[in-house]
Structure formats: C-alpha cells, structure tokens
A and B are shown apart, each in its own frame.
Chain A
C-alpha cells in the first residue's frame, strides 16, 4: 500500500503533539504551503518510481514505429497486444521465463535450506565450535564475489567426490546459491533473538533437535524467512554473470541471459514486451509478499516481559 504523507499528517492534527500544531494548520499560508509541498513530493516520487515501469508497460503494447516516433504519446495508432503474444511464443520468452522460474525456485530452496539449518545449528544447538564457524563465516563476507568466480567455476566443472561436471545443469546455479554467509548470519542473528525459554519448553515437552527446528523454530521465523526468500528470489531473477558462465545451452538459459542476446533479432516493440514480462514477476512477488512477510508479528503472546 502506498502511504499518503499528507493524510497521515492531517490525521494527527489535534490528536496529539505534531510537527505543525493545530493552531498553525489554521493559517492559510501554512495550510496551502505544506499541502502543496506534500503534493509535489508525492507526484515527484510517483513519476520517478513508477514512471519507467508505466512507460515500459505502455510500450510493451505499442507498435514499434509509435514508440520510436512518439515515445511519450499514449497509443497514437492504437495498441499492439500482439507484441506480448509474439514475445511469449516466437521469441520464446515463455520458455526462458519458465527457466528463470525454475532456477529461482531451486536457488530459493537451497538458500533457505542452508540458511535455516546452519542458523539453527549455530544459534540454537550451539556446539562448542559454533563461535569459530561463525567467525569463519563472517570473514567470507569480506571476500568480493568476483574473486570467487574462477574457483567456484573450477569446482562446478570438477566437483570434489562426485567427479561429474555440473555445467549445463541447473545444479550448477542452485548449489552455489546456498553458499551465502550473509543469509546464514542473518538467520542466526534472528534465531538468537527468539526466546530461549520456548526452546527449553519444547525440549522438556519431548522435542528433539529436528522437531524443535520444524515445529517450533521455523514457524516462529516467518519474518526472516520472508526476508531471505525475497532476497533469494530477486537475486536469482536478476543474476546474469553466473548463469551465463555455467549454462551454455540457450534452451536452458534464463531471461536475464537471453534478453540481451535476442535484442538484435527482435523488433523494439516485441523486445520491450519481453522486458515487461521479465520484470512482472519481481513486481508482483513484492506486492504479494511485502505485507505478509515483513510485518514481523510472528511472536505476539509467546512470552511476557
């Protein structure tokens, strides 16, 4: 939901101390001046934030000639819905789209699995060497990702023990996604702040480590799972370099890798339609999950004090 700053400020009026007191609101200069500034700010934010997206959406259903000749005009010669269909079928955006979805789901699962289990081990089970491992994990945060590209690539080509190259398999994208120290540290810090007494209550109730993890810790961790999920899916959706390196077969590549390559063979209108389809999922995903995940009300009533 978009908050309207103007309304919020007005609703505070008279109900308590505010930046601008009720008496001051009655003065017309302040009333119109502040109101106007708020309106300008709101319009500015909408134009900057939503403008490009709206333009992309409009251009996705506008004939190429119109987009080139009148980039800001609103459908001077009618809409071209065929752009979307053509992008989906002829340019095979549909296939790349599902590839991206598949990659994102796999990466998401691996990341959430590694982050929660590792976080649980470090924060809840707390073996004696947990501090050492946490310290080592933290140090990996200081290594730039680019430095790791070559060793990671070598490892994917010649994985230890398995001796079977992962190149051109989705595992080549999924498995390295799990190696995120940031996620582990994030989740471990969240678990650190969960009330210990609940874990102790569960242990006395008869829960072993697995049951504690599955039935108590995970359900209480929805807020952080939401955060990790959003990060994981977005990162996977827009990742370009790594999939380009390890997925050489065009039929398996995701949108981020394919889009720049199909640009040369496609008309602008169809290409913009393809871009629009590609950006739809992150936007819809964010709109759906921001409310349910980021509220962070998972702990109400658990403990007192």
Chain B
C-alpha cells in the first residue's frame, strides 16, 4: 500500500494539446480517490500516467516515495481494471487471474492459493475453467477485478470499470468494489464520469475539467462547498440551478433578486460567506440545488423564502417529483425536487419554499464561489 503523489504533472501531446495541466495532488495510503469529470477532462490520461501507459511530459509522479517517471508499467507494482475488462480471451478465468503472478515467478502453490482466494471473494469459484466468452458482463467485470486483487499490488487503478454494466449490476458492483477496497486496504484511484459513483465511492473526489484540477475534497464537502460554478454544476443530480441575480438590501435584509423573484439571504449564509457583503449592489450568480426547493404544501413557508412559479414539466420518479420551471426567461430553466405527493400540474402555478440557508453564490466573471476565504 503506497501513497501516490502528482507534482506539477502535465501531459502534452505533439500537437501541443495539454490533456493534463499542472496537476498537484497527494493521494494518501489506503485512500479511495475518485477522479471525476466530463469526457476529455484528462482524468483517464492522469490515471494512465500513473499506470505507465502514457509518458509523463512534465512534473513527477511518485508511488510509495519512488519517482516512477522512468519506471516501466510492469515494475510499478500497480494493477489496473479497464473499462472494457481487457481479459485474455484465449485463457480460462483461472489462467487470466494467474497470468500476472506467473510472470512474477511466484511459487505455484502460492498462485493457486491466491487465485482460489480471489475467486472466493468475488464468487467466481464455479467459473474458473470457463473462457471469458462464456461469462456474462458482470462476471467478466469480476474477473477483471480478480486479476487486480491477486497481484496484491501497491495500488489499484480503475478506469470506469462499471460503465459497461447495466444499471442494477452497477449499483451492486459499486458496493462490492467499496467493500473490497475497505477489506484489502489498497490505495485506489478510480476514474469515472458518473458523479453518483464519485459521490458514493470516494474517500475524496478530484473534479477535473479541461486537464486542470478544479477541486479535491471529501464528497460531501465538494457537494456543500463547491469552489466554482463548474464543480457546483457537475456534482449533484439534477444539476444545481443557476441564474444571474442582483444583491440588494431591502428593509435591512440582504436580498438576492432575479426575474420577478427575490429571496432573503440568511445570516447562516453570510456567516459562511462573509465576502458576500462586498457584492452588495452588484451582480452575482445564484445557485440553488433542486433538493433545496420544496412544494410549499409540505413545509413551512416564511416571507422572503418562497418562489411562485409555473410548472412547465412534471417528471414523477416515484420517490420524488421533478418540477421544471423558468425563473426569468427560457435560458434560466430550473428544476425542483419535491415531495412525491405534490399537486403540481403542468401550466399551473405552484409555490415553492427555498432553503435559503443553502444558497450558493458565484462571481459572474471568474465563476469562483463567493466565500470568506476565496474572493
């Protein structure tokens, strides 16, 4: 088990594209780190640089205190799980699991022991003599995991390992991978574009965009305290609603107004975001998460904390209802996640209560979140 460290790492392609730029990140021993971001954000490139499958153009990567820039993949003692499994099609499951151990000249009885142990952990005992073509998607995924487990490496590198599974299996494997990682206590980097996976699996998540790291923190922190508009919009589903707004003082209360609506800003918000006061009389970007909006029929309303809107689309998800509406014009479409028993109807007005203790504010120009420390 080893710590992994990126120091000012960059990947520059011959055409000058910087797929990863000035990446500084310390991953602690035994930590489950998730790289998350949209396609092309550089998360997979960063992972492949750790694996030794991409050359490191600038900076250094350290695994367990050893700089590995010039070390070959096979000597880095990491194991990788690929998105499409990459099993050896001509070998049985047992041979797939044992291949990496054989190449490391590990004693035959030890190989057998580890393969049997991994097969038991992953429930593959009955499939050891089958070829990958005779396995289901979920079973192949397990074999790919098993191939990593038997190696007992310093770190696991996982490149969107669940993206080819169906939804139900994905939830199941998500839990299984977490359980395995906890049991085995191996440093893990997990790449995904799925923010649900990121939120549920990682000890910390690193949000990336366009090759640069946007924020690294525990999932709840990233959700509660996003550092910029991108992170705020990317983490959380449905995405955070955002609209340009003005900060004014009405009757002594700091108020944010947009379209025909205005909301009173709680002291709790100002306590967390003292820098907000400096924006009084100016423009800000207001962010409200869909889950911080509720049908007024199900929660106590207070003056200055409600929005009266017209529902434009109603999506019933069973456990909750998503109410779509616009607050200003067509470009400011909002979504509210409200109680499943809501009476919202398309085309009819609805009163929503806003949890104004959880409002988010961003600077319009830089997109940075407005807190006390970050201005």
A contacts, CB < 8 Å to B: 195, 197-198, 200-208, 211, 215-216, 219-220, 298-305
Contacts and interface: CB of A to CB of B under 8 A. Distances in A.
Given A204-B51, A206-B103, A215-B99, A302 B80 contact: no
Contacts of A299: 89
B137 interface: yes
20 contacts: A195-B84, A198-B89, A201-B80, A201-B82, A202-B99, A203-B52, A203-B53, A204-B79, A205-B99, A205-B100, A205-B147, A206-B103, A207-B103, A219-B91, A301-B89, A301-B131, A302-B88, A303-B84, A303-B87, A305-B84
Secondary structure at the B interface, as helix, strand, loop or mixed, is loop
A195 B132 CA distance: 15
B73 A203 contact: yes
A85 B140 CA distance: 57
Interface string B88-119: 11110000000110011000000000000000
Contacts of A202: 88, 99
Contact of A301 (B82, B135, B164): B135
A219 B85 CA distance: 18
Contacts of A215: 99
A197 B103 CA distance: 18
Interface string B335-356: 0000000000000000000000
Please give me the 6 A-B residue pairs with the lowest Cβ-Cβ distance, nearest first: A301-B133, A300-B133, A301-B132, A205-B100, A302-B89, A197-B86
Interface residues of B, number: 34
A205 B74 contact: yes
B222 interface: no
B78 interface: yes
Contacts of A301: 87, 89, 131-135, 140
A304 B85 contact: yes
B161 to A, nearest CB: 11
Contacts of B90: 219-220, 298
Contacts of B76: 204
Contacts of B147: 201, 205
A200 to B, nearest CB: 5
B107 to A, nearest CB: 15
Interface in B112-163: 131-135, 137, 140, 147, 151
A208 B74 contact: yes
A203 B54 CA distance: 12
Nearest to B90: A219
Contacts of B52: 203-204
Contacts of A220: 88-90
B103 A216 contact: no
Contacts of B134: 301
Nearest to B136: A301
A201 B88 CA distance: 9
A84 to B, nearest CB: 42
Contacts of B80: 200-201, 204
A198 B86 contact: yes
Contact of B140 (A197, A219, A304): A304
Contact of B137 (A195, A200, A302, A304): A304
B132 A302 contact: yes
Contacts of B53: 200, 203-204
A208 B89 CA distance: 19
Contacts of A300: 89, 131-133
B103 A205 contact: yes
A218 to B, nearest CB: 9
A299 B86 CA distance: 11
A208 B134 CA distance: 28
Contact of A304 (B51, B91, B164): B164
A303 B85 contact: yes
A201 B86 contact: yes
A161 B78 CA distance: 46
B84 A197 contact: yes
